[in-house]
Structures are given as structure tokens and as C-alpha cells.
Amino acid sequence: DFITKPFPPDVLRLKVQKALEVREQRERLLQENEYLRKDAATDEGFEAIIGQSAPMQKTFNLVRKVACADSSVYIYGESGTGKELIARAIHDASPRAKQPFVRVNCGALAESLLESELFGHEKGAFTGAVKRRLGRFEVADKGTLLLDEIGDISPNIQLKLLRVLQEREFERVGGTDTVRVDVRVICATNKDLAGEVAAGNFREDLFYRLHIIPIILPPLRERREDIPPLVEHFIKKLAMRTRSDVTSISPEALKSLMAYAWPGNVRELENIIEQSLVFAEGEAIEVGDLPTQVSGAQSGDHLNVPDDGRALPEILEDLERQLILRAFRGAKGIKTETARLLGIKTSALYYKLEKYAIDDNVL
Ligand SMILES: Nc1ncnc2c1ncn2[C@@H]1O[C@H](COP(=O)(O)OP(=O)(O)OP(=O)(O)O)[C@@H](O)[C@H]1O
Ligand SMILES: [Mg+2]
């Protein structure tokens, strides 16, 4: 666009305005493009995470939503429920995807080691600090930092974390320079942190800084319909590594897996599939290939009392589920008959079948 001289001021203003509009439009297009690309990346990132159950579908939606926000995410779930996997998915679906994703296991290190792991140290900060080392916060700059097992950190580290989260700056151990970082923090825990706060073991102010967007991963026993697709996924994933010819699982063996309580959740399922792949001799995993604690899980008459430190209400729920499952199978899936065997109303049974995700698939 050029302007013929001489020009009245109005024309100039209009031209400038037009130029600005064009630029704005182009920027918007670029952003949209970026957004679309991100969307495609999201779908890729989700490939390895299995979960058709309602609670997992809800979780995936939440992951998509929170990925683009830059807020801190707090992931809570029992051991082996997939917290790390979800943290990675959030990073991969976020605008930070091309930047580093860094994980620190806060539960595995002694306090002084953890401090230097997180914030780095200067040369000579302590015996053995022969050169400057960058901490995880610096390594993760512009990316995402997963603080795993956050429930285990000491009061001193809690205070330092609070400062980084509030002010985005810190000093390396033994240093005086202030380091500024741009890091998105995700934390994961299998401890009831709110309880730790109430007990005075965890700073309340830090808890609220971290607990902005909570994601709760349900235990596997509360989403049993995810078991068959997970089994299929793990057979595919692990067949190569174990040099196994197994391609499937027998209906009987799957029934045992459906009935088991899974205190170690998806990680335990993955381990058990790996073991079974090693032991199996045919092309399918049979009941005999499963470890006894699992293969015994559906054997008719005795109930499996969970002894993994769960609270009484959860133990009772698990027993309730097992009893309903047994009656449902005994009644060959006829609901009025199942309710009669259990001595409850059919309407109550419907509610409980829904709650425990028991349907014809378990027959
Ligand atoms: N939904 C899922 N789909 C596929 N694999 C899964 C799923 N959830 C968990 N896994 C697998 O199970 C294992 C445990 O997952 P992960 O390490 O994310 O759990 P975690 O909650 O961090 O456990 P912990 O509390 O013990 O650290 C990993 O190998 C992971 O790939
Ligand atoms: Mg973990």
C-alpha cells in the first residue's frame, strides 16, 4: 500500500488503521495455527494412556483443558494410578511441549541433596561441590517441572518452594545471585496432603499455591472396565521385550483380573501381565499363568479381604463388590434373581451395579 502525496491526515489515519488490522489478523491466524497444531499433539500424547471408563474420560477432558492454562496442577492418586503419565500428557498438550519436561522425585532424596537437586549449587557450596551445577528449576526453564511425591518434603524445602512459586526466583545453594525462571509446576502425591496440612506437617500456604487445579486419579478397582483394554495394551507393549508369542488372554484369566482388588493399580497390572507373558506357553495367557494372589481372586466361595492398609469403609466396599459380583454370576446376570440372592431391592442393586461397574462383561 502506498500513499499519493499530498495526503490529508484522515487518509493517513485510515491507512495506518488498516495496516494494524492486517497485522492483528495475521497474528491471530498464527496463534490459531499454533493452537491447532497443539490439538493434534494432544491426540498423539493420549495414545499411550488407556481409559474408556467415565472417570478416566473425565480426566482426559480435564487434562485438555488445563494443559493450555499455565496454572499449577495437583495430581492425587494411589500408587501406580498413572500420575506421572498424566503429568507428561499435560506437558505434551501444553504450549510448553517443545520445552523440557523435568521430574524430581522429592521422596527419594535426603533434604540437603534435594535442595541442591531443585535449586542447584555453586562451586564450593559444600564438600564435593567441585563445580557449579544447575538445579531442576533452571533446567526446566520455559518448560514444566513435575515435583513427584511432594508430600515428603521437609519444612525448610517447603519454605523455599513457596518462594519460587510466589516470586519465580531463588538462589543456588551457596550462591548469592538471584536466578529467575519461568516454570510451570505440576506436583503429584499419593498422600492426603490436606490431612498433612491439618496435622501441621505441610504448610497451608504452599498447599494452596500447589492445589490450584486438582486432578484425582481413581484407583483401578473403581474403574474395572478399563482392565480389558489395559491388558490388551500391555500385551502389545510388552510382548517384544519378553520375547513372548502371546497375543491374547483367555476369558477365564481375564475374569480373574476383573475380580482382583489391584492395590498396586495399573503398575501392578502391568507387572502381572509381564510375568504372565514370561510364564505363558501358548498364545494366550491362561489362569495358570497368573500369580496365585490374582488367580485366586474369583475362586467361588472365599472373599478376598484387602490387607493393604486401606480404611475400613473401603474394605467394606470392596467386600460388597465381591459379594455382588458373586451373586450376579450365580444368577447368570439376571438382576431380579441377583437382588433376591443378596436380599436387597432391585432398585438398590441397579445402583450398586452401576457403582461397581458390574455388567454382563463379568459373566
Ligand atoms: N491409563 C494408563 N494407560 C496405560 N498405561 C498406564 C496407565 N496408567 C498407568 N500406566 C502405566 O502404569 C505404570 C505406572 O504409572 P505411573 O508411574 O504414571 O504411576 P504413578 O501414579 O506415578 O505411581 P507411583 O505413585 O507409584 O509413582 C507406568 O508404566 C505407566 O505407563
Ligand atoms: Mg509416580
Instruction: Give the nearest ligand 1 atom to 83 CA.
Output: 21
Same domain, 177 and 236: no
Last residue of a domain, one of 218, 244, 272: 218
Mutation to probe ligand 1, out of 267, 271, 272 (largest number of atoms < 8 A from CB): 267
Same domain, 67 and 209: yes
Same domain, 108 and 211: yes
CATH code for the domain in which residue 128 is found: 3.40.50.300
Same domain, 56 and 40: no
pLDDT given for residue 86 in this prediction: 96
- Which residue's alpha carbon is nearest to atom 9 within ligand 1? 82
Mutation to probe ligand 1, out of 52, 81, 193, 223 (largest number of atoms < 8 A from CB): 81
276's grid cell:
504372565
CATH code for the domain in which residue 343 is found: 1.10.8.60
Same domain, 72 and 21: no
Q: Which residues contact 50 (CB under 8 A, 6 or more apart)?
A: 56, 226, 229, 230, 233
- The residue with cell 469403609 is 313
Cα–Cα distance measured from residue 87 to residue 66, given in angstroms and rounded to the nearest whole number = 11
Q: Which residues of the chain have pLDDT under 70?
A: 1-12, 14-15, 20-21, 23-47, 297-302
Same domain, 305 and 260: yes
Same domain, 73 and 197: yes
279 close to 291: Cβ distance less than 8 angstroms: no
pLDDT given for residue 21 in this prediction: 67
* Each residue's pLDDT tens digit, 49-108: 999 999 999 999 999 999 999 999 999 999 999 999 999 999 999 999 999 999 999 998
341 close to 311: Cβ distance less than 8 angstroms: no
- 218: preceding bond cis by omega (within 30 degrees): no
Quick one: three-class SS letters along 49-92?
CCCCCHHHHHHHHHHHHHHHCCCCEEEEECCCCCHHHHHHHHHH
Last residue of a domain, one of 180, 201, 218: 218
pLDDT given for residue 11 in this prediction: 66
Cα–Cα distance measured from residue 237 to residue 273, given in angstroms and rounded to the nearest whole number = 10
38 by DSSP, 3-state: which?
Answer: helix
For residue 3, the enclosing domain spans 1-47
Same domain, 76 and 97: yes
Tell me, in angstroms, the distance from the centre of ligand 1 to residue 148's CA: 13
Same domain, 144 and 266: no
Cα–Cα distance measured from residue 186 to residue 339, given in angstroms and rounded to the nearest whole number = 45
Same domain, 97 and 140: yes
Same domain, 116 and 206: yes
Identity at 211, one-letter amino acid code: H
How many domains, in total, are found in the chain? 3
In short, whether 270's Cβ falls inside 6 Å of ligand 1 is yes
- Mean pLDDT of the residues in the chain: 87
- Which residue's alpha carbon is nearest to atom 15 within ligand 1? 82
